[in-house]
Amino acid sequence: MATEVKLPSLGEGVASGDVLEVLVKVGDTVTKEQGLLELETDKATVTVPSPIAGKVVAILVKERETVAVGAAIVQIEASAGSALAPAAPSAPAATPAPTPAPPAAPSVPPVAPAATAPKSTPVAPPPAPVAPVSPVPVSPVPVSPVPVSPVPVSPVPVSPVPVSPAPAPVATPPVATVSGGAAITSESSDAIAAGPAIRRFAREVGVDLTHVIGTGEGGRITREDVLAVVRQSHSLAKAATAPAAGTSSPSTSSASPASHSKSPVHSVGTPSQDDHGPIRVERMAKIRKTIAAQMHRSWSNVPRVVNFDDADVTELEAFRQSSKDDYASRGIKLTTMPFLIKAVATALRHHPLINASIDMDNEQIIYKDYINIGIAVDTERGLVVPTLKQADRMSIPDVAYALGDLSSKVRSGDFSVADLRGGTFTISNLGAIGGTYSTPIVNYPEVAILLIGRTRKLPVVMDDDSIKPRLMMPLSLAYDHRLVDGATAARFLNDVIAYLEAPSRLLLAL
């Protein structure tokens, strides 16, 4: 009897997800915890595992469909045992036992021994299979039709059909046929050597990975391989468009089978036309819809003010350079960001209003006694803000290690919704890309966000009136003016700057 598998809870506050890919087909045999669907929820991509082992009898959702938590996604006929081989013989043995017993007794006594023989000796099938096995090798060349007919009748219990690997070395198709349909489907899906991030990227740019040749280690498909297909398709599309202007029918018909057999391969989105020229229409991804909704919510609710300032990080950079090799020997990349996170977390401890949120409906200010720093990361799929929990309690080495781990999770797409929750303050690092100052959007319901620009050398007038080149880090602090006044924001930013300009204070900070 088929069991209906429903979409489980995907995390706090997540009510639905978009189906990116259905990982199984009807007829596939799945194991417990094997992935059924890949879903995009909020800002995370998750794989929905199967709660039971068995055979997929129906798929109730399709790609690009939005599925609510609790909705049925597939139907699976649970397997009788843990292994497929023993489960198969037990089913047929049960079927003949009740039926042949009454009718066969009066008229055909020989049938009883025949039925009893396979039932009593499933462990040692050699005597029984000897008869069926002989016809199989008789026609090894047209093996494809021969094994197909025996398999449904009774060779299912006669699992010794794997004995037919004897003729199989000549050609691969017989082996695939003998293995059964489920094996063929899993073979075709698993044959593509590409990680989840590459599969996702290929879907987003509309590339069919079965047509991509991998150049990575062991033939794995890399991002560059996918981009090469996109570039090649663009070139083919341009070449096909030029002659099409003069003679549309012949060139279009010749180009059609190659370029349109996999329709979206040549570009991102669906090709179309507006009043001014060619365009591409692309369905908005769930992550982009989430970002758009969050930005609109912040812009509509938060009266934002921005303070700009600079921090002299000359001493910090010298300190970092002298220590980075020690960290590298332990597998930790020491950048300026761990110092910045520690400075912000320590300053937040002394300025609890910056770490709070406001509840206008109930006319309350909610002070957070924990400090979780969100780090805005620019990814191929959009802006993702994973959260570094209890950042104020971490040492700089701890922050550096946790930051590296979080970054690798985000780059590979291997993070959960929980990694994005619970932030109290956000840091956005624009300096890695370029630019100095900006006006960042507050990550609602937080009340402040700090944007870091690219550090650059500037002439600075020192206390003794001398002018020296100093390494200056541009800082842009945006805050919710409903709760945070300009003086409060300035004091907070001054504390952050003081920690960055004297990095040794961070080691002794209270």
Task: Write the pLDDT tens digit of every residue in 347-390.
Answer: 999 999 999 999 988 999 999 999 999 998 877 777 788 899 99
Residues β-bridged to residue 469: 459
Which uninterrupted H or E stretch holds 346? Answer: helix 337-350
The answer on pLDDT for 223 being more than 50 is yes
b/e sequence 80-100, b meaning 16+ C-beta within 10 Å: eeeebeebbbeebeeebeeeb
The larger pLDDT score, comparing residue 9 to residue 494, is at 494
The DSSP symbol for 488 reads: H
Q: 126-135, 254-263, 393-402: which has the minimum mean pLDDT?
A: 254-263
pLDDT at position 38 is: 84
The answer on pLDDT for 111 being more than 50 is no
The larger pLDDT score, comparing residue 45 to residue 303, is at 303
Residue 2's CB is within 10 A of a number of other CB atoms, namely 14
| Structure tokens, 459 | 């002439």
Beta strand 35-41 pairing with 44-49: antiparallel
The larger pLDDT score, comparing residue 417 to residue 350, is at 350
The answer on pLDDT for 116 being more than 60 is no
| Structure tokens, 1 | 């009897």
Please compute the mean of the pLDDT values over residues 443-458 and round it to a whole number: 93
pLDDT at position 234 is: 65
The answer on pLDDT for 480 being more than 60 is yes
Which uninterrupted H or E stretch holds 376? Answer: strand 373-379
The amino acid that residue 293 corresponds to is A
| Structure tokens, 449 | 């966000």
For the chain, helix (H) and strand (E) counts, in that order, are 18, 20
Percentage with pLDDT > 90 across the chain: 27
Structural domains in the chain, CATH included, are 2-78 (2.40.50.100), 305-508 (3.30.559.10)
pLDDT at position 287 is: 73
> Residue 451: helix, strand or coil by DSSP?
strand
| Three-state SS letters, 271-287 | EEEECCEEEEECCCCHH
Residues β-bridged to residue 279: 272
Please compute the mean of the pLDDT values over residues 243-251 and round it to a whole number: 44
Dihedral (CA of 389, 392, 393, 396) sign: positive
Q: 159-168, 179-188, 274-283, 382-391: which has the minimum mean pLDDT?
A: 179-188
Phi and psi, residue 415, nearest 5° = -135, 160
The answer on pLDDT for 410 being more than 90 is no
pLDDT at position 453 is: 93
The larger pLDDT score, comparing residue 176 to residue 388, is at 388
**pLDDT confidence of 241, banded at 50, 70, 90?**
low
Residue 242's CB is within 10 A of a number of other CB atoms, namely 9
Does residue 4 contact residue 55 with C-beta atoms inside 8 Å?
no
How far is CA 476 from each of CA 266, 385, 479, rounded to the nearest angstrom?
41, 18, 10
The answer on pLDDT for 246 being more than 60 is no
Which uninterrupted H or E stretch holds 144? Answer: none
Task: Write the pLDDT tens digit of every residue in 337-356.
Answer: 999 999 999 999 999 999 99
Mean pLDDT value across the chain: 74
Q: Which residues contact 447 (CB under 8 A, 6 or more apart)?
A: 353, 354, 356, 357, 358, 479, 480, 483, 484
Residue holding tokens 């200010």? 365
Residue holding tokens 């044959």? 191
**pLDDT confidence of 167, banded at 50, 70, 90?**
very low
**Measured distance CA(41)–CA(18) in Å, rounded:** 7
| Catalytic residue of the set 211, 234, 350, 481 | 481
Q: Against a cut of 0.75, is the pTM above it?
A: no
The answer on pLDDT for 321 being more than 60 is yes
Whether 276 is catalytic: no
**pLDDT confidence of 227, banded at 50, 70, 90?**
confident
What is the side-by-side strand order in the sheet with 72-78?
A: 2-6, 72-78, 54-59, 29-30
pLDDT at position 191 is: 57
**Using alpha carbons only, how large is the chain's radius of gyration in Å?**
32
The amino acid that residue 167 corresponds to is P
Alpha carbon 106 to its chain's center: 64
Dihedral (CA of 150, 155, 159, 164) sign: negative
In the chain the first and final C-alpha atoms are separated, in Å, by 63
The answer on pLDDT for 91 being more than 50 is no
b/e sequence 115-142, b meaning 16+ C-beta within 10 Å: beebeeebeebeebbeeebeebeeeeee
E strands of 79-236, at which residues? none
